[in-house]
Structure 1
Amino acid sequence: MAELKYVIYLDIRGKIETQMLSPKTRYAAYLVYILEVCINELQPTKGIIKFVNLDEDHDAERRATTLHLSPWFVGKSQQIAVNRPDGWMEIQLGMFYNDLGDNGPVEARLLKEEHHKKFMMNLVIQGIEFRPATNAEKELGAKENVRN
């Protein structure tokens, strides 16, 4: 768990070996967090999914999903924050398909580059969860932002 107070740049990553996941299964990766205060306007971030052994960073960033960590944001982004019953919030970083589990590690990443101004927030990160995508997520056509 990590708590962030003054932020210029965010780059949060979580990895899991595909062999530890069920084969022939679509997965979603979620950032689990609490955002208590945000003084300056929190701009969109990027959710990036990549197979570490197959994808280059710049290719994965080009396929990134736009995210809004603030639960107060209302707009046309692809992903917005959702309140969980346990008091935490989550946002989907992206989806991927684990074919045979032989692609090596898969990485989920939250990237926020804002070098020109510092913003104050109280962001507590619990971690990144990898879990099978629900039928609702599949039907909504959530963006699968990784190649296989």
Structure 2
Amino acid sequence: MGERAFALLFANVHLILSRNFPLALLSFFFLPFGMGNLFALPPLKFLHLTLYINTPYSSTINYTAQSIWLDIEMACLWRQLPEDCVSRILSGTSPADVCRILTVSKEFRHPAESNLVWNQFLPSDIHTILPSPINFSSTKNLFFLLSQSILVDDGKKAFALEISTGRKSYILSAADLSIFHSNNNNWTWKSIPESRFDKVGEVKEAERLEIEGKIRSEALSPETNYGAYLLFKISEDAYGLNSIPCETFIASGDRLLATNTATLDDTINRPLHALFYGNRLHKMKERVGLNTAPAAPSKRQDGWLEIHIGDFFIGAADTGNITMAVTEIKGHQLKGGLIVEGIHVRPNT
């Protein structure tokens, strides 16, 4: 079998076997052998596999008997491989792939749970991120602990790994943000049971909102699209928050990456308010030159509300600060009752 034939075989294995998850792993078994060792495998296996792959793609829906035969062949190949070799193969996949493998095959449990695999899914700078000490029984255990988020940077940030990919996300607490007039009587700082942080910030009475967060590009996962979201709640006695939409932006240095507008209080869910104050709200929105409806807040599974600040991309060589801001400085109306937990920076799905 020549190099070109092998390449075609490998490509077709990926294409066809991807329709059946357990079989898709077959393609990984060819990688660690090298061409010489590959051809040392019994020729009959390749004869059957080639016949299977040359079957027209449209007929692969009805391949039950062949797929059973290939499952058996995969098991035979699996038993010929050293455990650390299988671990190296699995470390080139993703956490989601390995978790699926663990659910469908007991044969893979030991190599799939090895530290060699899960070390590859942890960020290279993980030991500079983690608080010390932190207890974990295995690297896999540490990964799943981090997927639930932990507090870092003296409790000013929450750090988590996306469970399907291992990419990093952060929540910058309100205490870690730059908030205009947050140190005077306009804002109050308090602890509430719903927050993951020690304190949240609440607007008592302010004419303007200026909330800004910064995070280093190097702290995030490279080659990843991120979204930034303001996390907040509205107190029962809130006022003035829906007078005019907030303006949001994301910047890297002097370069503007995204702009948006969003409302902190959704008047769609309060029809009487919209009826009595709709005309005034329309006039106020004209101040920000709003031609489209601003984004409304959405409710998260943890009970907090969020508005989308914007999206940005982290390249492999990016450095410097990413700035994320939410402002409302054109309404000139007193407002209060906004409870800010922080800004969530997470990979886009």
**Partners of 1:26 and 1:95 within 8 A in 2:** yes
Match of 1:139 in 2: none
Q: For residue 143 of structure 1, what is the aligned residue in structure 2?
A: none
Q: Deviations over 1:56-100 (max 9, x none)?
A: xxxx49x520111113347x5242100112221011100001112
> Unpaired runs of 5+ in structure 1?
135-148
User: Relative contact order (C-alpha < 8 Å, sep 6+): which is higher?
Assistant: 1
Shift of 1:132: 0.4
Contact residue 245 and residue 294 of structure 2 kept, 8 A: no
Contact kept, 8 Å, 1:42 with 1:70, in 2: the verdict is no
What percent identity do the matched residue pairs reach?
29
Q: Note if 1:95 corresponds to 2:333.
A: no
For 1:101 and 1:16, the matched residues in 2 are separated by 15
Q: Is 1:107 aligned to 2:323, yes or no?
A: yes
Matched position secondary structure for 1:79? coil
Number of residues of Structure 1 aligned to a counterpart in Structure 2: 127
Q: Which of 211, 231, 241 is the aligned partner of 1:12?
A: 211
Q: Higher strand proportion, which one? A: 1
Native 8 Å contact 1:71 1:80 kept in 2:
yes
Alignment TM-score, normalising by the size of structure 2: 0.34
**Structure 2: how far apart are the matches of 1:31 and 1:17?**
18
- Check if 1:34 corresponds to 2:233: yes
Alpha-carbon shift at residue 116 of structure 1 (Å): 3.2
Structure 2 match to 1:123:
338
Post-superposition Cα deviations, 1:92-138, rounded to whole Å, max 9, x if no partner, equal: 1000011125231101100111363323x21110000110012xxxx
Distance 1:28 1:101, change over 3 A: farther
> What's the TM-score once normalised by structure 1's chain length?
0.76
Distance 1:131 1:101 in 2: 19
8 Å Cα contact 2:246/2:327 also seen in 1: yes
Give the CA RMSD over aligned residues. 2.3
**Offset at residue 39 of structure 1 (A):** 2.7
Bigger CA radius of gyration:
2
Distance in 1 separating the partners of 2:265 and 2:317: 34
Offset at residue 11 of structure 1 (A): 0.7
Paired position in structure 2 for 1:50:
251
